[in-house]
Chain A
Amino acid sequence: MERRTFLNFTILSGAALALEGCGNPGTQLVRFIPEEDLVPGVAVLKPSVCAMCSAGCGIQVRVMEGEAEVVRNGQFGIVKMGLAKKLAGNPEHPVSRGKLCARGEAGLQVAYNPDRIQHPLKRSGQRGSGKFTQVSWDEAIEELLTHLRPLASAHESKSIAFLTRPQRGQRAVLIERFLSGFDGAAWVRFEFFDDGVLRKANQLSFGYEQLPTVDLGHSGYVTSFGADFLGTWNSPVAQSAGYGKMRQNRSGVRGKFVQVESRVSQTGANADEWVAAHPGTEGLLALGIAHVILKEKLAHAETAGAAGALIEGWREGLPASSPEAIAWKTGVPPETITRLAREMAARSPAVAIVGGAPLAQTNGLFTALAVNALNALLGSVGKPGGLEFTPEAPLPAAKAGRDNSGEGKSGSVRALAQQILSGQPRPVEALLLHEANPVFATPLGWRVKEALEKVPFIASFGSFLDETSRLADLILPDHSFLESWVDDVPESGTTQSVVSVAPPAMRPLYDTRSLPDVLLDLGHRLGGHISEVLPWKSYEEMLQATLAPLAHHDGSIKTKDGGEFWNKIQEQGGWWSAEATAAPKAKAAASHFNAMKYQEAEFAGSAGEYPFYFLPYASQLFYDGRHANLPWMQEIPEVLSTGMWGTWVEINPRAAATLQIEQGDLVEVASPHGKVRAPVLLSPGIAPDLIAIPVGQGHEEYGRYASGRGANPIKVLAPQVEPTTGALAWAGTRVSITKVGKGELILLSGGPTQWSQEKIAR
């Protein structure tokens, strides 16, 4: 072909292609009229509430004009609209105070995730096949109503269940009222790393069934028993801010920080002193410390009040828990225990924190009570530099509003599975599902997947297809939190009473509807009792009505005028009381509870056959697995391992050497209940008798970035529970490890180079 003919040919075919593009309506997008006035290039900051974990940080969304492909009235097109571009902490918000963690920053990738469900779907293949067809909202609502209507009639013997993540604020009130229209409806709130054991312990010790707020910033001595409080536990942003102040904010005073655990966590890496205690003996160690304090008369036993009375032998000075007596069990030398006790008593205010793995044992409740008693003995409860409890908001809350544990004996996902499988006390005819993913995050022994498959009808409101929502018959997708009215009442992280609320930061991209609005709509159509207790037409209307009484309380908004108050609260992103001048005193604790004594944690699997303790730990980036579908979270190296885009099995180098296992070898980690395979990472920060795997990867179905990547350690777990609360004892399983292959890819970021190693070790 000559050059000229070639050029002619390409020009012609190019033109033909271009013309074809014009003629084919499928390749053209309609341009919609903008729905809002925006100045190009000028950013607007809008308040919102972070939905990436349960901490409830107030955030600021940077919104700028952009062009987005959207769905309006069922049609695809392009529109100029305000788009969220960056999330940051809301400087005024009492929990976040202008700061935000890595997971929070990635909230943008939830809204803009390419795997979001864009419109209602109806199952078209077999259940679980992942085959769905698009339906309209009218069809979807009608379909849902045909299943709900018979169940909403009085004296119906079958009922429904609603499975969600923990919920707070008016959203919780709404769900509770909606379910009150169904006889025997179960509301199950599920989250894998649940703190139900600690809430229960705090209720018993101090009278507050909630997580504590730790005043780290004023503390002289912090001892954490397993709590990853700078990473994933409780209110990490607020706690990190306090930690920074504890270290370098007071002239001449630098608080000391001691971490007790058996694998160095992100939090533990920052400790001045890292104490390795055997898994399940943390409560015993707390008693040993208390023993020394009592014996040396550094504090009186009575100081601990009700919290002390819950521990057997407290008044007698814990005679069975001398440092010498507990040293061999805990693995902590007696002189260390004695020294820690003396330091704590001397460096007031001293505070102890407990959370995470120590409470995920069969003796977890005792461990929490023991640390609570130690705190009370140190005089740290309700004092600056100690433990405080966020005051309740002056609003009617959901009856079970504070108890978002979802792990109580009734209302737990395990109880739900049993109810479905047995049909007792009444069969579950329909299941409503929102974001919770128990098929991914429960031990196989709970038979959750098998149970859900038996439910005649499942409707999911979540934005993504995951292992649980894949079982749905009908999907009515929610907005992302940036597109929704959001409200929250933080449980901890502040000593002020806080009610966060904010309008949508941006308009919805797709044909989605927010869960509260759908529930209100369903309530109206069902009529009767539900429409009486939920009279509002929209969630916005409900929020305005239910939050109005706040105008009559002293706080961050001075006006008493209803309309002005409503404008102000949206502008600020919430209402909060003035900073507390005096911390609330401990309430009278429950007295009917018998004093407890230490019992050894029970581990599933014999030590002979399964020589290692097993720790599935909360991932710094994926938390419990919910963020594994966000590419930023996949590619940011986890700080201790520097691992990206995968799963690894952490083992102590000495233990690995005796097993002739090397870095990168593919191993199988097995318990009596399940097994997983992943490459080995030699980690110096883990006890030689412990194997750890981060939770979060190993999704069978969770979008393009997470599906089929890595391994899920939850599938190894035995269905062990803490007996009083029924909470999963996720740290109570033993495992074996076997090499099954060589040269597996393990992805670590560049890692420290030699020069910097020398530099830092000076």
Chain B
Amino acid sequence: MAHRWGMAIDLDRCTGCEACVAACHAENNIATVNADQAAKGRTMHWIHVERYWEGEFPNIRARFQPVLCQQCDAAPCEPVCPTYASYHNPEGLNAQVYNRCIGTRYCANACPYSVRYFNWFNPAWDKPLQLQLNPDVSVREVGVMEKCTFCNQRILAAEIKAKAENRELQDGEVKPACVQSCPPTAMVFGDLNDANSQVSRMAGSVRATILLEEVGTLPKVIYLERESSHGNE
């Protein structure tokens, strides 16, 4: 059976530490754009941590939620692409073929999660920062849309390795960069087609929810709601 990759994020473990964001930058050759461009909203954080204030001082709390491409099964970004740059790959990922992309940005407009990022100019690294670039991931050019890939390069490498060793992939063998770094282990990655995988078990939790369920996008990122044991209980 084909893999169906998914991620579970336990918001009761997430601490808002930003390790996933930094790890993603390092793994996926994400360019920094500088302060002027950032002011125009042109940063390209494939994953970012949203923060929600609740209440008023002193009864105040904040909640964190890492948001990345939700890898929807019914992805609004895919049918709108005139060049089939956004497509559904056989393992269920919302893939982006950079050299098909002509930069219409329809997909970004269609995405209800705002997790697709447009390259407004060619990325540049002050020498020798280009040495940090990961050779397994292509660098995107001006006019191209980019997004989280679930670290597809790591998935492919693990699949090739398992095939060469003539065995099945083990649960937990593939870890996207964000999952690998996550200090409190809030993020778990695995095969949703494998009922025994950790991600499948987490998806069955009573705390499991998906973002914007009412839009009907069928995401493969599952959030486990934060529990609350408030002081006055």
Contact = CB atoms under 8 A, between A and B. Distances in A.
A339 B180 contact: no
Contacts of A507: none
B17 A264 contact: no
B227 to A, nearest CB: 6
B1 interface: no
A679 to B, nearest CB: 12
A451 to B, nearest CB: 34
Interface stretch (B55-63, B72-80, B87-95, B98-106): B55-63
A497 interface: no
A266 B15 contact: yes
B51 A264 contact: no
B57 A639 contact: no
16 contacts: A85-B132, A105-B22, A106-B22, A112-B132, A240-B183, A241-B184, A248-B12, A248-B13, A258-B231, A620-B18, A632-B32, A640-B51, A645-B35, A747-B38, A756-B52, A759-B211
Interface in A217-264: 230-231, 236-237, 240-241, 243-244, 247-248, 254, 256, 258, 264
Kindly state the interface size class of chain B when it binds its partner: 35 or more
B165 interface: no
B62 A635 contact: no
B65 interface: yes
Contacts of A750: 41, 48, 114
A687 B17 contact: no
A636 B20 CA distance: 11
A438 B212 CA distance: 49
Interface string A545-566: 0000000000000000000000
Closest 9 pairs (CB-CB, A-B): A244-B184, A240-B183, A273-B231, A269-B62, A645-B35, A105-B22, A102-B22, A276-B58, A114-B126
B27 interface: yes
B33 interface: yes
A141 B53 CA distance: 56
Interface of B: 10, 12-13, 15-19, 21-23, 25-27, 32-35, 38-39, 41, 43, 45, 48-58, 60-65, 67, 112, 114, 126-129, 131-135, 177, 180-186, 211-212, 224, 227-231
A737 B62 CA distance: 26
Contacts of B129: 109, 112-114, 631
A100 B23 contact: yes
A68 B54 CA distance: 49
**Residue of B17, B23, B52, B56 with most partner-chain A CB within 10 A:** B17
A267 B48 contact: no
A101 B16 CA distance: 11
A621 interface: yes
A336 B41 CA distance: 43
Contacts of B114: 750, 753
Interface stretch (A86-94, A188-196, A403-411): A86-94
B45 A636 contact: yes
A64 interface: yes
Contact of A684 (B34, B60, B134): B60
Contacts of A336: 231
Contacts of B177: 86
B38 A66 contact: no
A248 B35 CA distance: 39
A761 interface: yes
